[in-house]
Amino acid sequence: MLKIDIKKLSNMKKIIIIGGGAMGSAFTIPCLENNNKVTITEPYSQRFIKDLSSKNKFHSALNIKLPKKLKFRKFSKDLLKEKFDLIVIALSLSGIDFIGKELKNLKIKTPILVLTKGLKYEKKSNRILTISEQLKKNYSGMNISVLKGPCLAKELAEKNHTSVVIANKNINVAKSIGRLISTKYYITEYSKDIIGVEVCSAIKNIYSMIIGAGQSLNASSNLFQKSIIEMKYLTKYFKGKDETTLGLAGIGDLYVSAAGGRNSKMGSYLGKGFTFKVAKKRFMPKDTVEGEQLAREIAPFILKKIDKKKIPLMNNLLRTIINNKKLKIKV
């Protein structure tokens, strides 16, 4: 097992955030408030590279100016070779394979904190991987913590009260990272159930679509309750703890997504009888719908391996997406 110097971790100052999108950039704010030296880099998006490298650091997705003391660096292998005390991964799910290989080549032993939410279907082994498992597949020596919970990037950037959970099998590592990034408005809780936290934070995107499909508060509240039951079953199925479903990464994150996120918005169109393709083209042509991406990713496993009677809502939503059919669910 990789040993981490907890005392050193608690006093660390140099943080690099890989991913200059809304969440990665918003996350720089509590990090900087704790007097850390924070560097942010962006491997892909020319839009965010332009934002972060500008003199005023105006972030177009957050619609705010980021702190002047935030340092932007062009992404490179040489940058990753520099000494940092914490590496934060805030890339989209599609970037996880890329960064995993980059870190593997460098044999990184620096503590890693993952903000990205999602799951990966590995066809060769016919199994579902969490992001931490996906990264460790490249290099098992990585010490990975994950940070999840009900956190809208815009609200974090505006310093609204936000509570999240940091998970690591070594709870002391999670707590040390928490002391590094916590502020009066950014509150961290802790968990050893890294699998449960990751599973909950991913599948809530699908269930928020289902809840959004309810065409009244009464219907949506019923779907919310049934979604929690299914989330508990799936979390336990993937070897997480079902009680994690009732925490910030589960019911907390589900509430925020269902209350008005893009997944819930798409769900409302599905509930009105539109197919996904029609709704996407007509109403949300420029929006990324994470629940739809996850549905296509995990459907080959879920539909074949898990009894549909245990997860009828999930089963129906997956078939609706992959077959581009109208959603039919019993409220």
Q: Which domains does the chain have, with CATH numbers?
A: 6-192 (3.40.50.720), 203-322 (1.10.1040.10)
What are the tens digits of pLDDT across the range 68-100? 999 999 999 899 989 999 999 999 898 999 999
Q: Is the pLDDT of residue 163 over 90?
A: yes
Give the Cβ contact number of residue 196 at 10 Å. 26
- Taking CA atoms, 325 is separated from 184, 204, 237, 274, 307, in Å, by 47, 21, 28, 8, 21
The H or E element spanning position 195 is helix 194-212
Residue 6 binned pLDDT confidence (cut-offs 50, 70, 90): low
Which residues touch 192 (CB under 8 Å, ≥6 apart)?
167, 168, 169, 171, 174
What are the tens digits of pLDDT across the range 207-234? 999 999 998 999 999 999 999 999 999 9
Distance CA 286, CA 322 (A): 20
For the CA atoms of 154, 93, 259, 148, the dihedral, rounded to the nearest 10 degrees, stands at -80
Question: Considering all CA atoms of the chain, what is the largest pairwise distance in Å, rounded to the nearest integer?
Answer: 56
Nearest Cα to Cα of residue 76 among 102, 50, 113, 56: 102
Cut 0.75: pTM above it: yes
Q: Given its phi and psi angles, is residue 262 left (phi above 0), alpha (psi -120 to 50 degrees) or beta? A: alpha
